[in-house]
Homo-oligomer: A and B are copies of this chain.
Amino acid sequence: MYDGLKGFREFYPDEMSARRAVTDTIEDRIRQYGFREIGTPALERTQLYTDKSGEEIVEELYAFEDKGGRTVALTPELTPTVARMVVARGGALQKPIKWFSTRPFWRYEQVQQGRFREFYQTNIDIFGTSRPESDAEILAVAAGAMVDLGLSESDFEFRISHRDILGGLLESLDSDVETQAAIRAVDKREKVDPEAYYELLVDAGLTRSEAESFDAVLQTDDLDELIEFAETDRVESAVENLRSVLDAAADFGVREYCTISLETARGLDYYTGVVFECFDTAGEVSRSVFGGGRYDDLIEGYGGEPTPAVGVGIGHETLSLLCQRAGVWPDEATRTDYYVLSVGDTREVSLDIAGELRELGHVVETDLSGRGFGDQLSYADGIDAETVVIVGEQDLADEAVTIKDMKSGEQTQVPLSMFPPEDGRPTYEDFE
């Protein structure tokens, strides 16, 4: 017997139907905001990632040399590909550009709960505007999708921070601080013990007392305290930007899902403004469920015109853990509208009826195995058919079919002239 690869999964129909329902729910919400779907390749030149993130990223990639001698990698994330697409079409694209897609990505990582080597993400991005309404729309579409999945304020929260507040606070200190290292330390705050956290800040250039006062001001609920702490234009305008985004989020109707949480820093270096992470409020999904933010410098970094950008990547693996914890994961089940059961020499009429029901948009199965009455009924039960249409020779002699409700087991004969009707999805109740 052949095995699949570690960290790669196959989804049988029951599980796949739940995953498909979740993806459809998310994408329906996204489409309603006017985001347009794009399609992207599974393979890119490895350079697309190393130029941005350094050679060490290769360790996490499925990278190899193709038969033409190109150094290529399975795409570990969408952003570099999308950046390449924006750069390629540049000015020809109407702004703002609003794109989304759902697809797998690949990283050679330790497999653990909610983390696989092949994992699925829905990415949503807006390019070409730095206005707070665009940050807020990303929050709104993500929160809206969560609500559509059946989640509520008591299940999840978006913890919101701002790269320029963190950077500006650090810049305002007397010491000469390595900003990226200090921000990475902040990102680790929840994952390491306090001493280790302060050590990371000290390693980044802060004195111990700066580290403590910096950490204290991060915990404030009053954004004015941040301005007073730093006394710089940079922090003042970052605070103003964060407030504008939250005001816009209120107008979008999603302010209630957002909590200011300055220690939310996002691991990736390319963020430039508002950043946020979605957390399970019950704390059972211990890692961030997903996150996003503003990255205004990336397109220029890939050789394009300066193009502000904001986006979010919804990871389906952690999201499914959250949905399961909250009890809103869709039923993993096979359902069927009709099974048309043919007994005796009635195949032609049975397939006609099945075809007519399909034309009405219903899911209909018929016998493909040459089975008798009882075995067909068992199969219909196995595919959870709601209604069985029995087409027997005696029925046809009576110019009728028998409609059977699979839940109650009750059945009734219906004239062929009345079935199937011109519309609707008639069940036993309509004929009893």
Give residues in A with beta carbon < 8 Å to B: 1-6, 8-13, 15-17, 19-20, 31-34, 36-45, 47-48, 59, 62, 64-68, 70, 72, 74, 80-81, 84-85, 87-89, 94-96, 98-99, 104, 106, 108, 118, 126, 128-129, 131, 133-134, 137, 144, 248, 251-253, 302-303, 334, 336, 347-348, 351-352, 355, 358, 361-370, 379, 382-383
Contact = CB atoms under 8 A, between A and B. Distances in A.
B48 A2 contact: yes
A74 B129 CA distance: 38
Contacts of A37: 13, 16-17, 20
B106 A43 contact: yes
Contact of A362 (B32, B62, B131, B248): B32
Contact of A133 (B2, B17, B98, B367): B367
Per assembly, the copies of the chain total: 2
Given A16-B37, A31-B363, A64-B64, 19 more contacts: A1-B303, A2-B45, A4-B44, A5-B70, A5-B72, A10-B39, A10-B41, A10-B85, A11-B39, A42-B118, A64-B65, A67-B108, A128-B369, A129-B369, A131-B368, A133-B368, A133-B370, A137-B366, A137-B368
A383 B34 contact: yes
Contacts of A17: 36-37
A253 B248 CA distance: 56
A9 B47 CA distance: 18
Contacts of A85: 10, 12
A326 to B, nearest CB: 22
A339 B47 CA distance: 40
A2 B284 CA distance: 41
